[in-house]
Amino acid sequence: MSALDGVARRVGAVSVARVLSCWFLGCWFLGCVLTLGLAPVAHAARQSEAAQAESPRATAIPSEARLARTMAELPRAEAGAWVGWHAAPVPPLYLAALEAYRAEDLMRTWNLVCDTLERAPDHPAALSLAGGVAFRLRRYGDTVVAFERFLVHAPEEVARTRHLGHAYHSLGRHDEARVHYERVLAAPDLESKARQEARLGHALACYRGGDSDAARRDLDGLLELNPGDSEVLTWRATVAFDDEELALAITLAERAASRAPFDPRPVYLLARARGELLAILDEDFAGLPQDDAGRVRDVELTAEREALRAAVVRDETRFAQLAAIDVRSRELEAELTLTPGNHAARRELARLNSAIGDSHGALKQAAYLARTAAEDGESQLVVLELLVAHGRPESATAHATLLEAAFDEDPSVLERLALFYAERGDLQSRLRVGARAAQLRAREAQLRARETGPRARKPEQTAR
Amino acid sequence: MHTFSTLCFALVFAQVSAPKESPSEAPDGANAHWFTDVTASALPGVTIECGSPDKDWILEVNGGGVGLADLDRDGDLDLVVVGGGDVAAYRADAPAPSPRVFLNRGDGTFEPGGDAWVIAPAVTAGFGAGLALGDFTGDGWIDLVTTGLGADRVFRNEGGRGFVELAPLPRSEGWTTSAAFLDYDHDGRLDLVVTGYLVPELDEARRRAARWKGQPVMVGPEGLVPLHDRLYRGRGDGEFEDVSVAAGFRPEVAGYGLGVITLDEDRDGWVDLYVSNDSTPNHLWHNRGDGTFEERGFRLGVSHDAAGREQAGMGLAVDDDAGLVFVTNFSGESNALYARTPSGRAFRERSARMGLAGPSLAQLGWGTGFGDLDLDGDQDLFVLNGHVYPAADAPGTDARYAQPNQLFERVGDEFRARPLEAGGPRVSRAGVLGDLDRDGDLDLVATEVNGPVRILRNDAPRAPDAHWLIVRPRGADGSPAAIGALVELRCVHTRADGTTSEATSRRELRSAGGFQASAPLEAHFGIAAGPVGSVLGVTVEVRWPGRPPTVLANVTLDQVLFVDVPERAQSAAPKKAGSGR
Largest CA distance in chain A: 102
Q: CA A126 to CA A107: how far, in whole Å?
A: 15
d(CA B226, CA A183): 48
At B142 the pLDDT is 94
pLDDT for position A4 = 29
Confidence (pLDDT) at A455:
57
Look at the domain A32-243 and name its fold. Answer: 1.25.40
Tell me which H or E stretch contains A276.
Answer: helix A264-286
Helix (H, G, I), strand (E, B) or coil at B481: helix
Helices assigned H by DSSP within B58-205: 87-91
The shortest C-alpha distance from B442 to chain A (Å) reads 29
Measured between beta carbons, the chain B residues lying within 8 angstroms of A50 are: 9
Nearest residue in A to B216, CA atom: A63
Q: How far is B370 from chain A (nearest CA, A)?
A: 21
CB-based contact, A171 to chain B, within 8 Å: yes
Q: Provide the 8-state DSSP code for A232.
A: H
Amino acid identity of residue A452, one-letter, is T
Test A59 with B210 for CB contact under 8 angstroms.
Answer: yes
Task: Determine the Cα–Cα distance for residues B59 and B517; give it in Å rounded to an integer.
Answer: 18
**Residue B452 parent element (H or E):** strand B451-452
For B400-416, write each residue's pLDDT tens digit: 999 999 999 999 999 99
Question: Chain centroid to CA A357: how far?
Answer: 17
Chain B neighbors of A196, CB-CB under 8 A: 2-4
**Closest CB from B1, B14, B219 relative to A172:** B14
Evaluate whether B331 touches A172 at the Cβ level (below 8 Å): no
Closest-CA residue in chain A for B304? A268
Partners of A139 on chain B (C-beta within 8 Å) are: 15, 396, 398
> Which residues on B lie below 8 Å from A166 (Cβ)?
6-7, 10-11
Q: Which residue of B has its CA nearest to A239?
A: B306
Section B442-462 average pLDDT: 97
> Is the N-terminal amide bond of B221 cis, ω within 30° of 0?
yes
B16–A173: do the CB atoms touch at under 8 Å? no
DSSP-derived 3-state class of residue B78:
strand
List B residues 378-407 in contact with A (Cβ-Cβ < 8 A).
Answer: 389, 394-396, 398
**Could you give the C-alpha distances from A416 to A224, A408, A445, in angstroms and in order?**
52, 12, 19
CB-based contact A172 B16, cutoff 8 Å: yes
Average pLDDT of B553-562?
95
DSSP secondary-structure letter at B117? G
Could B211 and A173 be called an inter-chain contact, meaning their C-beta atoms sit closer than 8 Å?
A: no
Q: What is the pLDDT of residue B545?
A: 87
The minimal CB distance from A229 to the residues B2, B361, B396 is found for: B2
B5 touches chain A (CB under 8 A): yes
At B422, phi and psi to the nearest 5? -80, 170
Q: What is the DSSP track for B201-255?
A: ---GGGTT-EEETTEEE---STTSEE---EEEEE-SSS-EEE-TTTTT---SS--
Contacts with B177 (C-beta within 8 Å, 6 or more apart), sequence order: B62, B129, B130, B147, B195, B196, B197, B257, B258, B259, B515, B516
For A382-399, the DSSP string reads HHHHHHHHTT-HHHHHHH
CA angle B85, B89, B95 (to 5 degrees): 65
**C-alpha span between A415 and B299 (Å, rounded):** 50
pLDDT of residue B11: 46
**Neighbouring-strand partners of residue B392:** none
- In degrees, rounded to 5, the angle at the alpha carbon of residue A445 between the alpha carbons of residues A443 and A450 is 95
Residue A200 to residue B361, Cβ atoms within 8 A: no
Compute the distance between CA of residue B48 and CA of residue A406 in angstroms, rounded to an integer.
Answer: 61
Tell me whether A261 touches chain B (CB under 8 Å): no
B577 to chain A, any CB pair closer than 8 A? The answer is no
Question: Quick one: pLDDT at residue A443?
Answer: 94
Taking CB atoms within 8 Å and a gap of at least 24, the contacts of B183-186 are B183/B271, B183/B480, B183/B481, B183/B483, B183/B484, B183/B545, B184/B231, B184/B233, B184/B247, B184/B270, B184/B271, B184/B287, B184/B291, B184/B293, B185/B233, B185/B291, B186/B270, B186/B545, B186/B546, B186/B571, B186/B572
Is B168's pLDDT higher than 90? yes
Q: Is A264 on the interface with B (CB under 8 A)?
A: yes
A196, B2: Cβ pair inside 8 Å? Answer: yes
- Chain A nearest C-alpha distance from B219 (Å): 8
Measured CA to CA, the distance from residue A242 to residue B350 in angstroms comes to 8
Express each pLDDT in B474-489 by its tens digit: 875 457 779 989 999 9
Q: Cβ neighbours of residue B220 under 8 Å, at least 6 residues apart?
A: B57, B58, B198, B200, B210
Interface contact A259, partner B, CB < 8 A: no
* Digitized pLDDT (tens) for each residue of chain A, 464 residues in all: 333 233 333 333 334 444 444 444 444 444 444 333 333 333 333 333 333 433 345 443 334 445 678 999 999 999 899 999 888 889 999 999 999 999 888 989 999 999 999 999 999 999 999 999 999 999 999 999 999 999 999 999 999 999 999 999 999 999 999 999 999 999 998 999 999 999 999 999 999 988 999 999 999 999 999 999 999 999 999 999 999 999 999 999 999 999 999 999 999 999 999 999 999 988 888 777 777 776 666 777 788 899 999 999 999 999 999 998 888 888 888 888 878 889 999 999 999 999 888 899 999 999 999 998 999 999 999 999 999 999 999 999 999 999 999 999 999 999 999 999 999 999 999 999 999 999 999 999 999 999 887 655 444 444 33
Least confident of A99-103, A450-454, B203-207, B556-560: A450-454
CB contact under 8 Å between A230 and B2, yes or no, is yes
Closest Cα in chain A, distance from residue B12 (Å): 7
SS (H, E, C) B285-316: EEECCCCCEEECHHHHCCCCCCCCCCCCCCCE
Instruction: Examine the pLDDT at B577 and tell me if it is beyond 70.
Output: no
B15 CA: distance to closest CA in chain A (Å) = 6
The residue type found at B335 is N
Contacts of A241 in chain B (CB under 8 A): 348
Q: B-contacting residues of A 136-155, CB under 8 Å? A: 137-142, 144
Exposure string for B342-358, b = 16+ CB within 10 A, e = fewer? eeebbbbbbbbbbbbbb
Q: How many CB atoms lie within 10 A of CB B210?
A: 20
Query: In chain A, where are the structural domains located?
Result: 32-243, 407-464
**For residue B211, what pLDDT is reported?**
85
Nearest CA to B540 out of B529, B530, B554, B526 is that of: B554
Query: How many other C-beta atoms lie within 10 A of the C-beta of residue A405?
Result: 8
CB-based contact A231 B307, cutoff 8 Å: no
Per-residue pLDDT band for B30 (boundaries 50, 70, 90) equals low
Tell whether the model's pLDDT for residue B374 goes beyond 60: yes
- Window 10-39 of A: residues touching B by CB (8 A cutoff) are none
Q: Are B527 and B462 in contact (CB under 8 A)?
A: no
Residues forming beta bridges with residue B537, ordered by sequence position: B492
B458 contact partners, CB below 8 Å, separation of at least 6: B34, B35, B373, B439, B441, B442, B443, B444
Which among A340, A342, A361, A341 is positioned nearest to A350, based on CA atoms?
A361
Asked whether the CA dihedral A148, A149, A154, A160 is positive or negative, the reply is negative
pLDDT of residue B305: 93
Contacts of A175 in chain B (CB under 8 A): 22, 358
pLDDT score of A41: 37
Q: Is residue B553 less than 8 Å (CB to CB) from chain A? A: no
Length of chain A: 464
Contact B216, A63 (CB under 8 A): yes
Packing angle, helices A174-185 and A192-208, rounded to 10: 150
pTM given for the model: 0.86
Residues of A in contact with B213 (CB under 8 A): 61, 138
The total of other beta-carbon atoms located within 10 Å of residue A7's CB is 21
Gap between the Cα atoms of A144 and A165, Å rounded: 8
Distance CA B470, CA B571 (A): 29
Residues 413-442 of B with CB under 8 A from A: 414
**Whole-number pLDDT of residue A122:** 96
Pick A63's closest partner by Cβ from B215, B298, B308: B215
Identify whether the C-beta of residue B33 lies closer than 8 Å to the C-beta of residue B417. Answer: no
B72 to B66, B132, B142, B234, B269: CA distances (angstroms): 17, 16, 8, 23, 30
Averaged pLDDT, B240-257: 96
CB contact under 8 A, A58 and B308: no
Is some CB atom of chain A closer than 8 A to the CB atom of B360? yes
Q: What's the Rg (C-alpha) of chain A? A: 29
| Residue A463 confidence (pLDDT) | 38
Q: Which long-range contacts (CB under 8 A, 24 or more apart) does A365-372 make?
A: A369/A343, A370/A399, A372/A340, A372/A341, A372/A343
CA pair distance A235, A249, nearest whole angstrom: 10
Task: Mark B516-548 as b/e (b = at least 16 C-beta within 10 Å).
Answer: bbbbbbbbbbbbbbeeeeebeebbbbbbbbbbe
The per-residue pLDDT for A6 is 35
Biggest CA-to-CA distance, chain B: 75
Please indicate whether, in this complex, the C-beta atoms of B308 and A319 are within 8 angstroms of each other: yes
Using the predicted structure, report yes or no on whether residue B433 has a pLDDT greater than 70: yes
CB contact under 8 A, B222 and A57: yes
CB contact under 8 A, B214 and A67: yes
Q: Are the C-beta atoms of residues B470 and B562 closer than 8 Å to each other?
A: no
DSSP string, A10-36: HHHH--HHHHHHHHHHHHHHHHHIIII
**Torsion angle defined by CA atoms of residues A357, A359, A363 and A365, in that order, rounded to the nearest 10 degrees:** -50
> Which pairs from A428-434 meet CB under 8 Å and 24+ separation?
A429/A400, A433/A404
The answer to whether the Cβ–Cβ distance between A231 and B395 falls below 8 Å is no
Supply the pLDDT for residue A190.
Answer: 93
CA angle at residue B171 from B170 to B172, to 5 degrees? 145
Whether residues B10 and A271 touch (CB distance < 8 A) is answered with no
Of B3, B299, B362, the CB nearest to A172: B362
Q: For A198, name the nearest residue in chain B, comparing CA atoms only.
A: B4
* In chain A, residues 276-335 whose CB comes closer than 8 Å to chain B: 276, 279-280, 316, 319, 323, 327, 330
Residue A32: per-residue pLDDT:
41
Kindly give the interhelix angle for A140-153 and A162-170, rounded to the nearest 10 degrees: 150
B558-578 burial code (b ≥16 CB/10 A, e <16): eebbebebeebeeebeeeeee
Cβ distance B19 to A171 less than 8 Å, yes or no, reads yes
Q: Quick one: pLDDT at residue B569? A: 64
Phi/psi-derived region of residue B524, left when phi > 0, alpha when psi is between -120 and 50, beta in every other case: beta
Cβ–Cβ < 8 Å for B387, B366 = no
